[in-house]
Amino acid sequence: MVQPIISCQDVWKVYGGVAKAGDGGACSDVVALREATLDISEGECFVIMGLSGSGKSTLVRCLTRLIDPSRGKIVVDGADITSASERDLTAIRRRTMGMVFQNFALLPHLTVLDNVAFPLGIRGIEKKERQDRARVLLQTVGLSGRENHYPSELSGGQQQRVGIARALSCDPKILFMDEPFSALDPLLRRELQDEFLRLRAKLRKTIVFITHDFDEAIRLADRIAIMKDGGILQIGTPEELIVHSKEPYVREFTRHVDRSRVLTAKTIAQPANGHAPTRYVDGDALLYQFANEVLSSNEPVGVRHQGAVIGVLNKNDVISILTSTDQKAVA
Amino acid sequence: MTEAVATSVSLNTRWRAWAIPAVVVILVCGSTLLPDAMKVYPKAWIVPFIDWFRELMAWLTQDTPQIPGLPPIREFTRAFAGGLNYLLDFFKSLFATGFHFRPGDGPADLPPLPWYLVIGLAALSGWRLGGRKLAIITFVGLLFIAFTGNWTSAMLTLASVIVAAAVSAIAGVAIGALAYRSKTFDRLLSPFLDLMQTVPVFAYLVPALMLLGFGPAAASAATIIYALPPMIRSTVLGLRRVPSETSEFGRIAGCTPFQMMIKVLLPSALPSIMLGINQMTMMTLNMVIIASMIGAGGLGYDVLTALRRLDIGSGLEAGLAIVALAVILDRQSQAAAQRSGDHKHDEQASFFMRHRVTLALIAITAVTYAIGLFEPATAYFPHDFVFSARASLNEFARWIAVNLSGPLNYIKTAFLWTVMIPTRNFIGGLPWFVPPLLVGIIGYAFSGFALALLSSVLVLSIFAAGLQEPALNTIYLCGLGTILSLLFGIPLGIWGAKSERAHAVLGAICDTLQTLPSFVYLIPVVMLFRVGDYSALIAIVAFAIVPAIRYTDFGIRRVPKHYIEASLMSGGTREQVLREVELPLAVPEILLGVSQTIMMALSMLVITALVGTRDLGQETYIALAKADAGRGIVAGLAIAFLAIVADRLVSAWSHYRFRQLHLT
């Protein structure tokens, strides 16, 4: 297997002696992150999903060491960032990291162009060159012509495009996205997700994406980590999570997902049992793409994956998957 | 836990409802039975604080090194004074007097900036910052100053304000940035800032004079120190309010700590810093006016000399010039603060187009200055243009003195004999241990043992410094001033809360009253009532009434609408709702207003020393006249201590009410 670009071993974050409101003023330790272990490989889009207070923000801030983990080891691009000095950390961040924030975090006193060029300026790149590069990036995110506007003159969606362009300006190996679309209204969110998928296909960067929206996670992720109460419950591809939910909590999310857009033919194929189908679908095809074909056929349809026939699909199986919200129908 | 609080509050309430008035009555009644000898703090117990501070100042200003191997502190302070004097000279020459390179009183070798240029630039800046209205205010205000013959004095004052404000702004932002970065430094700084904001302005002047030598630099340094706390506070506050995401972005982008501060944090905190600059500028003006009385020259000096000559007309005109300057400075710096938050793009791309206004201004400045070089007379406001109304104003003042002195004097005498003198005699007649004991009891009742101890010790230490009489006079004047302010201010505040029109009018009046340097209040008062405690009291009330109005208005407006609706639907009349619901719920805010009122009354005290009161303000004023640093510092600290005690007691009361109402 390829060396992971982010490797996180048994990482904890405990806020000690923090008085919690409402518990009589007593002091108690708050475990914000427990036993987080995960590997993220290069080029992967890794989504960390959890509701508020689940520790997803803490986890991503430990991965970037915006906060210091209490325990554990994190290696990013070959460098142990848990033990790095402040100076080394700055160097590592300049080399490998870009980040997009929920509330954009654009600098109000700089124009759009200067905001995008800001990380380049920090690295000492001269004005002409950094503005040229920023102009290209603004074109990439579809904001040409707004270079001289100030952030307050842009809509939320436009501001976040600037945020993305800025995070990409230094061509970082890893892009951290902290609920980048949560502050936007649903239509705009959808539009930016599409934009994100398009950019991703073009740039092939490693992306660590935080969200509280399971549908968003399913749409964008190669793999998803689901978090609750500071712990990681399960890590897997969207399909794995739906088919093999390990915890009732995970099932709560997967229950309402539109399965037809997640499940592939190879996953739901049944043993052929001697059937010799006349029609075939591809193993990587999504259920919604072939459902009509199976339902309109009077005999089982075969599933072909990487040249081999791996099973068949019955009309009844497809119907029960499409209509049920229960796990067992899938398995 | 909430239940526990509720029980303890209700128990304490019962306890307080009976115990405090009982103890107070027993103390006060009992004390009248005690012999007169117990009224005065025993001489033998006086602690020589004043001598200690004299020795400290002597040590600080000695010519031999304080720490072996280092040059004496005096050399640093002298160097600092030199730099400050240089700056002051430059700006005063630039704005007011012109540059003199040769010794002697001859005509200036280089003229100052032409007066019409200054007016034009200021009006233009007003137009850029706040539109046509601000441009007109600026233009008319400055023309008024010029035509009444106050131009040179006003420019001297302005030059002092510019220098002190610039140094304060830079130092304040730097110190604020340090305090933001270092928790330890912040914790060390905080009590100093608290103290600095309560020490009266005069108290800074004496040590500044001793350290920096007599001259404008000392006044300027005192001004800078006086104006620093709000600058530091607003910088720290602004930095703390920068969204965490913004600083996280800076770190991810790989900023060094220095880049982070300069490029990310400070620009993001700019709106709050600009508000601090507005506040700081107004404090600077206030202090510059006061400081100019010790000979620095400027509008304050003009007012004072006019008042001493009883030339009410000139005094009034110079006073109005101060008002004009204050309003212009306040509105312009406020407009700048508001603009600092919103950025608008400019489509013009080329360098000359983007900077066309700046370039044009530089050209105009150069041309007009050149004209002034060849024709120096054009740089100064022509004497023939001065159109002073002082003669008719003096006539008016005389008319008032002749026609109104009867009724005015009648009111004055009646008030003096029925209210002021009895109050003073009563407070002065209490045995010396009663005031410290009393504040202790109140502190204990509202907060606890710590506050009780603090209050008693602070008051006791004032007495121990030998300042019992001036301190009691202070309490009497400020107490009466506060009560009168509340008596007038709270009803006005209620009126403002109930009527939109009253709210707008009162708001405008309060805004103006708040921008006026405290010194200005004395002019009409002295004009009408001459000097004395009664004049001082009126000046105090006029100055301190603003927070009483403001906080009452704010507090009542803040009462949630559903309470009022519920009360009206329960059948309450408007009066009942006001009395039973709105006022009780607004009490915490009103108490904050009370605390502010007391602070302002105390700060006015030092100014009223000029009309001959016999309180702690007079002590600092005398110390200033005698250049007695020990006496000045102790009297200044005494006022600060009184302010701290009053502030802590009233805010303890306010917190207590908050808890009772479960509003925490």
Residue in A119, A152, A170 nearest the CB of B343:
A152
Q: Specify the pLDDT at position B1.
A: 38
Residues B595, B589: Cα–Cα separation, whole Å: 10
CATH number of A6-257: 3.40.50.300
User: CA B149, B153, B154: angle at the middle one, nearest 5?
Assistant: 90
Instruction: Please identify, in words, the CATH class of the domain defined by A260-323.
Output: alpha beta
Mutation for B interface: A122, A131, A143, most B CBs within 10 A = A122
Q: Specify the pLDDT at position A24.
A: 42
Note whether B1 contacts A149, CB cutoff 8 Å: no
Which of A205-214, B38-47, B319-328 is predicted with the least confidence, judged by mean pLDDT? B38-47
Note whether B252 contacts A93, CB cutoff 8 Å: yes
Q: Specify the pLDDT at position B347.
A: 59
Q: Which domains does chain B have, with CATH numbers?
A: 72-82+155-316 (1.10.3720.10), 401-660 (1.10.3720.10)
Give the HSE-up count for residue A129: Cα atoms under 13 Å, Cβ half-sphere.
8
Going by pLDDT thresholds of 50, 70 and 90, the confidence category of residue A56 is: very high
Where in chain A are the domains?
Answer: 6-257, 260-323
- For residue range A226-281, list pLDDT tens digits in order: 999 999 999 999 888 888 888 888 888 887 787 887 888 888 888 877 777 888 88
Does ipTM exceed 0.90? no
Report how far Cα A313 is from the mean position of its chain's Cα atoms: 31
The mean pLDDT value for A14-41 works out to 71
The mean pLDDT value for B181-200 works out to 85
Mutation for B interface: A109, A148, A208, most B CBs within 10 A = A109
> Which of B18-27, B53-62, B247-256 has maximum average pLDDT?
B247-256
A46 pLDDT more than 90? yes
Q: What is the mean pLDDT of chain A?
A: 86
Q: Chain A: residue nearest B245 by CA?
A: A105
B663 pLDDT more than 80? no
Tell whether B63 lies on the interface with A, counting CB pairs under 8 A.
no
Note whether B264 contacts A107, CB cutoff 8 Å: yes
% pLDDT > 90, chain A = 42
Contacts of A148 in chain B (CB under 8 A): 345-347, 349
Which of A36-45, A87-96, B58-67, B489-498 is predicted with the least confidence, judged by mean pLDDT? B58-67
Contacts of A149 in chain B (CB under 8 A): 345
Going by pLDDT thresholds of 50, 70 and 90, the confidence category of residue B60 is: confident
CA distances from A121 to A110, A127, B66 (A): 12, 7, 47
B90 pLDDT more than 90? yes
B294 pLDDT more than 70? no
Q: How far is A58 from chain B (nearest CA, A)?
A: 13
Q: How far is A207 from chain B (nearest CA, A)?
A: 15
Note whether B252 contacts A66, CB cutoff 8 Å: yes
Q: Specify the pLDDT at position B613.
A: 84
Q: Which helix (H) or strand (E) holds A47?
A: strand A45-49
> Which of A286-295, B158-167, B504-513, B516-525 has maximum average pLDDT?
B158-167
Note whether A99 contacts B249, CB cutoff 8 Å: yes
B99 pLDDT more than 50? yes
Which residues are CB-contacts of A114 (< 8 A; sequence separation ≥ 6)? A107, A121, A131, A134
- For residue range B416-453, list pLDDT tens digits in order: 999 898 888 888 888 888 889 889 988 888 888 999 99
- For residue range A173-191, list pLDDT tens digits in order: 999 999 999 888 888 899 8
Domain pair A6-257 / A260-323, same fold: no
3-class secondary structure per residue, B595-608: HHHHHHHHHHHHHH
- For residue range B550-608, list pLDDT tens digits in order: 999 999 998 888 888 888 888 888 888 888 888 888 888 888 889 889 888 888 887 88
% pLDDT > 70, chain B = 94
Q: Specify the pLDDT at position B491.
A: 95
The answer to whether the beta carbons of residues A63 and A225 sit under 8 Å apart is no
Residue in B243, B253, B342 nearest the CB of A122:
B253
B215 pLDDT more than 50? yes
- For residue range A120-150, list pLDDT tens digits in order: 998 889 999 999 999 999 998 888 888 889 9
Residues A166, A140: Cα–Cα separation, whole Å: 11
Residues B204, B224: Cα–Cα separation, whole Å: 10
Q: Specify the pLDDT at position B523.
A: 82
B149 pLDDT more than 70? yes
